[in-house]
Amino acid sequence: MVNASHRHLTERYASGVDLLLWETEKRLIPDLDAIKSVTEASAAGQAEGLDMGAALVLVQAARLALDRLECELFEAAHAMGMRSEAIAAVLELPDAATADKRQRWLEARRALPYAAAESQRTETGRAARRAEAAHRPNGRPADHTPSRSRARDPGGR
């Protein structure tokens, strides 16, 4: 379902370099860009129900991915000797018991079925850079070019 959502939103909302990468390499647009495109289209009255459903699927997948990362950080913090009290303080939780409860909740979330984001990408970073370079005037990579997600004008979709 996540892969189908990525594909639908890419086909519907890819533009600029993302569109070129989709057409030439079948590269999916980044999750957050896809979700943002749907919220912008919705605000303009142009989103469809299928777009909303696909965006919600991506939000859930992103949330699960972040929960898995947070669980790994909890484990790494404990492995390096960080106590639950310190973790609670960093997270601004009331006490160690609350931090432990959060870790247990995250561990339960980690057990849920999950398709890793990397397995859903059909494009590598090298091919993306190659496609971008092919469309620059001099055909070479620009020095210190910011990533597309940081360089993209938030209102440019």
pLDDT, tens digit, 9 for 90 and up, residues 129-153: 444 444 444 444 444 333 333 333 3
pLDDT, tens digit, 9 for 90 and up, residues 57-90: 999 999 999 999 999 999 999 999 999 999 999 9
127, part of any domain:
yes
140, part of any domain:
yes
156, part of any domain:
no
- The mean pLDDT of 98-102, rounded to a whole number, is 97
Alpha-carbon distance 120 to 140, whole Å? 28
Length of the chain: 157
157, part of any domain:
no
Q: Contact at 8 Å (CB) between 76 and 87?
A: no
How would residue 113 be classed by pLDDT, with cut points 50, 70 and 90? confident
Alpha-carbon distance 34 to 40, whole Å? 10
Residues spanned by the domain of 16: 2-151
Alpha-carbon distance 61 to 2, whole Å? 7
Q: Which two structure tokens, joined as six digits, stand for 95?
A: 């006490």
Alpha-carbon distance 115 to 21, whole Å? 22
pTM for this entry: 0.66
How many domains does the structure of the chain reveal?
1
